Amino acid sequence: MATDKKTAVKETPVEEKLKALFDLQKVSTEIDKIRTLRGELPLEVQDLEDEIEGLQTRANNLSEEVQKLSDDIVSRKNEIKEADLQIKKYVGQQDSVRNNREYDAITKEIEYQELEKQLCEKRIKEHTADMEKKKEQLADAQELIKDRSIDLESKRKELETIVEETKEDIEVLEKKAKEISKNIDERLLSAFDRIRSGARNGLAVVTVQRDACGGCFNKIPPQRQLDIRLRKKIIVCEYCGRILVDDMDNNEAIDTTK
């Protein structure tokens, strides 16, 4: 009784599967051709975006380094002012010392503060030179960002124009591809996508051309060609792995019943 309730599932003939794959490949190729009109523009846009991002990071780092050097210069100048105050204080104390030992101690403090001033002045000179150099590098980076941003805007507009002009055609073809895909089982569709993604020019399904695979151009034995024309099973090229079909637009399958 259980077997009577089973619903019979009609298996799609291989020829119909091949025709669906063949049609899907044609539509996919048309989509590829339209997208080829965009050329290298998507990559150029991405490269410019990456370059600008890198330049901006460099500019930000340089700006932070300039600020740190500027802060350090201010700090060194304050240290010089503090040293001058200390020297002035110690010089005043020299007039009231009681013995040579106190005088020598104050003299050493004055010498120490003078050395501190010299060190600060040296650091200020070094930081000033380094800061000017980094400011020049920052200006160069900002100028390059400006130039690259102009290039990016131009490339984006060019790409947007092409995308807009081909948008309708792409949508029609993608809808058609979706409809065709409904007639292909998931396993076969997955194989089609896998082969297509790794194949030259996105060709997963190719016809036999001059006794050879239309994808890799390796010769196909006569018996294998006959099997392909019979459309009784799905045959892949033993060299490149593409699905092989005869020209399903112009040729009928061989009738083996005659």
163-205 pLDDT tens trace: 888 889 999 999 999 999 998 999 999 999 999 998 878 999 9
Quick check: 22 pLDDT over 90? yes
Mean pLDDT to the nearest integer, 144-169: 93
**pLDDT at residue 7, as a whole number:** 40
SS3 label, residue 69: helix
What is 213-251 written as a DSSP string?
ETTT--B--HHHHHHHHHTSS-EE-TTT-PEEE--TTT-
Tokens of 254: 């061989």
Q: How does residue 1 score in pLDDT terms, banded at 50, 70 and 90? A: very low
Q: pTM of the prediction?
A: 0.59
Does residue 207 come out as left (phi exceeding 0), alpha (psi in the -120 to 50 range) or beta?
beta
Which amino acid is residue 139, in one-letter code?
A
Q: How far apart are CA 195 and CA 132, in angstroms?
A: 58
